[in-house]
Amino acid sequence: MIGILSFVGFTLLVAIISYFATRTTDETSSDGYFLGGRSLTGVVIAGSLLLTNLSTEQIVGLNGSAYKEGILVMAWETLAAIAMVVTAIFLLPRYLKGGIATIPSFLQKRYNKTTKALTSGLFLTGYVVVLLPIVLYSGALAINAMFNVPELLGVTKNEALWISVFAIGIIGSIYAIFGGLKAVAVSDTINAIGLLIGGLMIPYFGLKEIGNGNISEGIATLMASNPEKFDSIGAPDSSIPFATIFTGMMLVQLFYWGTNQAIIQRALGAKNLKEGQKGLLLASFIKILGPLMVVLPGIIAYHIFQGNLQNPDEAYPQLVTKVLPLSLVGFFAAVLFGAILSSFNSALNSSVTLFGIDIYKEFFNKNASEKDTVKAGKRFGVFLAFLSMFVAPFIANAPDGLFGYLQQVNGCHSIPILTIIVVGYLTKRVPAIAANIAIISGAVLYLIYFILDSFVFKGENVFPHYLHVMAILFVANIIIMLIIGKLKPRETPFELEFTNEVDITPWRFSKIVGLVIVFIVILIYILFS
């Protein structure tokens, strides 16, 4: 009962603070609703970025991967810091200079409406088919396990799954659809503090368990007993071979942190470039510490359970149950619930933004007022939310190693979109037809590879690692675009117009801080090689 009360109390606290922090925001305008009135500060952006990224499929899934393979899976966390530095220094200034609200709207300026429509369609497809349902499903499983919902409500496991999915979906929808980006960002910031505290509690109590009450003794025992788990260099047959760090891994990271609408939208809502860069760089520094929450617990679980768990994705929930004092279970569940909501409502808010600005106003009602555009986006959000809720419980047969599987599936839209953005920034005469061909060919070719690798030649290693395949397709698409640009260039070179939406004076310490963060990442790899 104490656990449930603390869970409800912390969740309500977040909701109340979010309400009072956003009640003066004008949400009848596109900027007010979609970008928080372009008023977000560095700390809010950092907190929202971290919570949007962290959710149950990562906390549970990545720790499951660490249980199986060890510290080498930290690449998904530590290398993200480098991608965030690149975004802060090179991409964000250009985004804010153009005053864009969505990535597809930039692509319309650089290419044409067709490019924007194709990109928005790919983003929305990824959210509907993959991200939203899986966040709901994995979140519902975590909540059911922590509170034993089937026994609590006297229902079957399947019924409890449906109940939890709809509870998470409805609460997340209220934040995302009716509160706009600022409500999402404020709630994320509060939950980020709780997640940092709660997430660090698990390795803290886990190491005390191993060291008989002594953390330093626990660390020494863990490293001495499991030296193979602390090698950051992935073998050729691992999920992250070392060579992939220099190919597809960095491309995936750059897409996620620099072009993924659900993520970059937080930085697009910055009050100025300085705050946007501070937010990204602060988040990147904290991201380096991410393995303490999403990798180390998996290794601790491997030591405690002696590698006897049949399903690696059970490692984190089992560890929480074993080492966390009962008095803290409610607080930790509330924090985890906040992480679940964050990923769900952030993706949903981005979907609403993409539909309202890039599809409804462009193709359905060109003369729509900003108020009408927001209303249309909200209606679409309600439809999308309920669609995701109905789909989520049917993912019960999702494969083991959910985190790696999701990364592979996402390549269908991440690489084509990243390709046309990179070429769009680095060239001035590559035409729209080149981008449209590249985005279609990139998606189709990767889909063909994925079907062949997963369902035709499953387990036969006919193809290179999927991260290498991403890099190959990325280079191939760039070559295609450059050839078309040479044969049929734009009549006039593209120039990004400065809209004066926000001050784009850069933070004077951004490059120094960025270099320090990159140096720390390299040092970590040297220490654990």
Overall average pLDDT of the 441-447 stretch: 93
Task: Tell me, yes or no, whether 509 lies in a domain.
Answer: yes
pLDDT at 389: 87
Cα–Cα dist 404/123, whole Å: 19
Average pLDDT over residues 87-95: 90
Q: Which range, of 150-154, 260-264, 470-474, averages the lowest pLDDT?
A: 260-264
Q: Is the pLDDT of residue 2 over 60?
A: no
Q: Which pLDDT value is given to residue 198?
A: 79
CATH number for the domain spanning 200: value is 1.20.1730.10
Per-residue burial over 466-499, b = 16 or more CB atoms within 10 Å of its CB, e = otherwise: bbbbbbbbbebbbebbeebbeeeebeeebebeee
CA distance 83 to 256: 9
Q: Is residue 430 part of a domain?
A: no
Mean pLDDT score, 416-436:
93
184's tokens: 């999402």
- 């926000």: which residue's tokens? 502
Contacts of 436 (CB under 8 A, 6+ apart): 111, 112, 114, 115, 118
pLDDT(8) > 80: no
CA 370 to CA 30: how far, in whole Å? 6
For residue 462, being part of any structural domain is answered with no
Whether residue 514 lies inside any domain: the answer is yes
Residue 32 has pLDDT above 50, yes or no: no
- Sequence length of the chain is 529
Total tally of structural domains belonging to the chain: 1
Residue 464 lies in a domain: no
Asked, for residue 46, whether it belongs to a domain, the answer is yes
Is 470 inside any structural domain?
Answer: no
Residue 521 has pLDDT above 90, yes or no: yes
pLDDT at 27: 45
Tokens of 261: 């609408």
Query: 283 lies in which domain range?
Result: 2-403+503-527
Beta bridge partners of 272: 503
pLDDT digits (tens, 9 = 90+) for 127-169: 777 778 878 887 887 778 777 788 888 898 888 889 988 988 8
From residue 398, give the alpha-carbon distance in Å to each of 130, 148, 334: 11, 21, 25
Please tell me what DSSP assigns to residue 40: B
pLDDT at 477: 95
223 band by pLDDT with thresholds 50, 70 and 90: very high
| Long-range CB pairs of 478-482, under 8 A, 24+ apart, other chains included | 478/419, 478/422, 478/423, 478/438, 480/434, 480/437, 480/438, 480/441, 481/419, 481/420, 481/423, 481/430, 481/434, 481/435, 481/437, 481/438, 482/423, 482/427, 482/430
Within-domain flag for 8: yes
